[in-house]
Amino acid sequence: MDFDRLKKFIDEQDIKLDKLYNNFDNDQQKKNLAYAVKLTEEVGELSDEILAYNSFQRQEKLDVKGKDDLGDEFADVMLVLLLLMKNMDIDMEKVLNKKMAKLEKRK
């Protein structure tokens, strides 16, 4: 997957969510905060899956876990993070390239 396809997907999802949530009352701060809270929710769901993956949950919970749940939750976190970045005018490709270049220089 390339960045252009990912950005287009995020743009489309953002429009869908605007429609679903009545444009967040045309309040960008409200929208940003809603996405930030959603990100926290998704990180919680990912944490649940990481605990299950490492068998740090009761057997009854482990018995109902699906094989794909861990990957789905990683994807949820990434997609909500990208939605938040878009709405806060952070260019995902630019900041990742900048950070990677910085980390590559470290010994």
Q: Which is nearer to Mg ion, 24 or 42 (CB)?
A: 42
Residues 70-99 touching Mg ion, rule: CB under 5 A, are 76
> How many positions of this chain bind Mg ion (CB under 5 A)?
3
Give Cα 65 to chain centroid, integer Å. Answer: 21
- 49: contact with Mg ion by CB under 5 A: no
Contacts with Mg ion, 2-41, as mask; x by CB under 5 A: ----------------------------------------
Give Cα 33 to chain centroid, integer Å. Answer: 14
Q: In a 3-state reduction of DSSP, which class is residue 91?
A: coil
Q: How crowded is the C-beta side of 64, counted as CA atoms within 13 Å? A: 5
- 48: contact with Mg ion by CB under 5 A: no
Report CA dihedral (41, 42, 44, 45) to the nearest 10 degrees: 120
Q: Which is nearer to Mg ion, 75 or 100 (CB)?
A: 75
Q: Which residues bind Mg ion (CB under 5 A)?
A: 42, 45, 76
